[in-house]
Chain A
Amino acid sequence: GESVGLHLPTLSVQEGDNSIINCAYSNSASDYFIWYKQESGKGPQFIIDIRSNMDKRQGQRVTVLLNKTVKHLSLQIAATQPGDSAVYFCAEASPPPGRRALTFGSGTRLQVQP
Chain B
Amino acid sequence: DTAVSQTPKYLVTQMGNDKSIKCEQNLGHDTMYWYKQDSKKFLKIMFSYNNKELIINETVPNRFSPKSPDKAHLNLHINSLELGDSAVYFCASSPRTGGDYTFGSGTRLTVV
- Chain A residues near B (Cβ < 8 Å): 32, 34, 36, 38, 41-46, 49, 87, 89, 93-95, 97-104, 106-107
A38 to B103: give the CA distance in the assembly, Å. Answer: 10
A43 to B94: give the CA distance in the assembly, Å. Answer: 14
Question: Which residues of the partner chain A approach B101 to less than 8 Å between Cβ atoms?
Answer: 34, 44, 46, 102
5 A-B contacts, Cβ less than 8 Å apart?
A: A43-B104, A44-B101, A87-B41, A97-B97, A101-B48
In the complex, the answer to whether B105 meets A42 with C-beta atoms within 8 Å is yes
A107 to B43: give the CA distance in the assembly, Å. Answer: 9
> Separation in Å of the B2 CB from the closest CB of chain A?
11
**In-complex Cβ contact of B99 among A38, A42, A43, A97 (8 A):** A97
**Contact A99:B43 (CB < 8 A) given known A34-B100, A44-B103, A45-B103:** no
> Separation in Å of the A85 CB from the closest CB of chain B?
14
Question: Which residues of the partner chain B approach A101 to less than 8 Å between Cβ atoms?
Answer: 33, 45, 48, 56, 97-98
> Separation in Å of the B105 CB from the closest CB of chain A?
5
Question: Which residues of the partner chain B approach A41 to less than 8 Å between Cβ atoms?
Answer: 105-106
A93 to B44: give the CA distance in the assembly, Å. Answer: 13
In the complex, the answer to whether B103 meets A106 with C-beta atoms within 8 Å is no
Q: Which residue of B is nearest A44, CB measured?
A: B103
Residue B96 lies at the interface, judged by CB distance under 8 Å to chain A? yes
Q: Which residue of B is nearest A45, CB measured?
A: B103
In the complex, the answer to whether B100 meets A103 with C-beta atoms within 8 Å is no
In the complex, the answer to whether B33 meets A42 with C-beta atoms within 8 Å is no
**Closest 3 A-B residue pairs measured CB to CB?**
A43-B103, A97-B98, A93-B98
**In-complex Cβ contact of A106 among B33, B41, B45 (8 A):** B41
Residue B55 lies at the interface, judged by CB distance under 8 Å to chain A? yes
Question: Which residues of the partner chain A approach B45 to less than 8 Å between Cβ atoms?
Answer: 101-103
